[in-house]
Amino acid sequence: MKRRIAILISGRGSNMLALARNCGGGLLNAEVFFVACDNPEAPGLADAEKLGLKTHLLPYAALGKYKAEEHLDRLISDSRAEWLILAGFMRVLSPGFVLRRRGRIVNIHPSLLPAFPGKDSIRRAFDHGVMVTGVTVHLVDEQVDHGKILAQEPVRIFPGEPIEDLEERIHQAEQILYTRTLIHLLDPSR
């Protein structure tokens, strides 16, 4: 049976689109019940609509975090989504919200955690001069970009490489790793 997932985004939505396409194509044994976003300007929101996905704007700006999370709680229970997939969602979920769904919220982050959590991770790794960075998929706990690591993919930084090229390679690695990890997490028999 298909797993019921909901995806949270804040911006471009490239990971969300890759996951949605892989659900549609059958690679992921899951169905996207909705895409929710905290940012009305997010390009990913419009792209999700174009794909025919159900979308919701979370009222963080108008009502604050706790009301926005209540709204999200209702969306999840109404849709009976089993898994919450964070794909570039740049808000920290409250401990109570995470506790209610511990082990059922997954995040992707563009570094080899625990290195470079938080924002601008690719640039901070690049500026730091590390030679290898990468991508992490992990379960979400109460801390930022923290929780049980499910999978990691290293990405080398080549000498003299422009940051734009590195970003592109990291985003490609993310899309492959997220789907590959979720295939097994959502359906351990596969």
Q: Which stretch binds ligand GAR (CB under 6 A): 47-55, 67-75, 106-114, 157-165?
A: 106-114
Asked if 147 touches ligand GAR (CB under 6 A), the answer is: no
- In order of 32, 35, 60, 181, the CA distances from 178 in angstroms are 15, 16, 26, 5
| Best CA proximity match to 18, nearest among 76, 117, 110, 85 | 85
Site for ligand GAR in 47-76 (CB under 6 A): none
Site for ligand GAR in 9-48 (CB under 6 A): 9, 11-15, 44
Size, binding site for ligand GAR by CB under 6 A: 15
Amino acid 10 reads S
Amino acid 145 reads D
Q: DSSP assignment, residue 136?
A: E
Which lies closer to ligand GAR via its Cβ, residue 108 or residue 166?
108
Three-state SS at 50: helix
Which lies closer to ligand GAR via its Cβ, residue 78 or residue 167?
167
Asked if 145 touches ligand GAR (CB under 6 A), the answer is: yes
Q: In the complex, what is the shortest distance from the CB of residue 77 to ligand GAR, in angstroms, rounded to a whole number?
A: 25
How far apart CA 181 and CA 174 sit, in angstroms, is 10
Selecting among 109, 138, 146, 184, the annotated active-site residue is 109
- The two tokens of residue 135 are 């991508």
> Is 109 a known active-site residue?
yes
Q: Is 50 exposed, middle or buried (0-12, 13-18, 19+ CB in 10 A)?
A: exposed
Q: For binding to ligand GAR (CB under 6 A), which residues are involved?
A: 9, 11-15, 44, 87-88, 108-110, 121, 145, 174
Q: Which residues are identified as catalytic?
A: 109
